[in-house]
Amino acid sequence: MYKAIVIGTSYGGIEALRLILPQFEENFPLPVIVVLHIGEHSNDLFIRHLNNMCKLAVKEADSNEPVLPGYIYFAPPNYHLQVEDDFTFSLSTDVKLNFSRPSIDILFESAAWAYKNTLIGTILTGANSDGANGLKIIKEMGGKTIVQNPCHAIASAMPKAALKAVMPDIRLNIEEIAGKLIELAYSK
């Protein structure tokens, strides 16, 4: 039984997330935690847009906030987002990893240590290799790993890097990912 979903994406991610996140119903049982590389500027407009599209509440994660179902959390721009062992968030301005802050790898690794085999990690379209290492750690900790098919990604570098780092449990086209996440969320 899974307890959380982490999603990492970069170039093309806004389009990908618009396809996936609105498909989760308001009683969706897992928190969804997202790192989207959008630079150092605020993602308020995109979050407001998603709040109008999604049945779950969409927000930037706050430091010391508990990770709860019913929410889609985004890493704030220019902050690394981590999940602590007590299932709360922490934020940091530590050095960029893979030229990125927030870093997908940092979120994925911290979530893997907190959730172990009850985590679902998902890598979507993107133009760098951030997330590949983190997805490998999720797999090593027994979590479920999903990678978008790079042939159909707006930017294939991130899914290709993930596929090179780890043999994912599932490889899907973007249109199939929401359905699979929903299926996994309700599996026993």
Report the C-alpha gap between 70 and 155 in whole angstroms: 30
- In sequence order, the β-bridge partners of residue 139 are none
Q: What are the beta bridge partners of residue 9?
A: 36
Helix 157-165 to helix 132-140 angle, to the nearest 10 degrees?
40
Q: Which residues contact 176 (CB under 8 A, 6 or more apart)?
A: none
- Whether 10 sits among the annotated catalytic residues: the reply is yes
Q: Of 10, 100, 110, 129, which residue is the catalytic one?
A: 10
Which one of the listed residues 80, 110, 129, 130 is annotated catalytic? Answer: 130
Grouping H, G, I as helix, E, B as strand and the rest as coil, residue 4 is strand
Active site residue 41: no
What is the Cα–Cα distance from 77 to 69, expressed in whole angstroms?
22
In the residue annotation, 105 being an active-site residue is answered as no
Contact 79, 35 (CB under 8 A): no
Residues annotated as catalytic (active site), given as ranges = 10, 37, 130
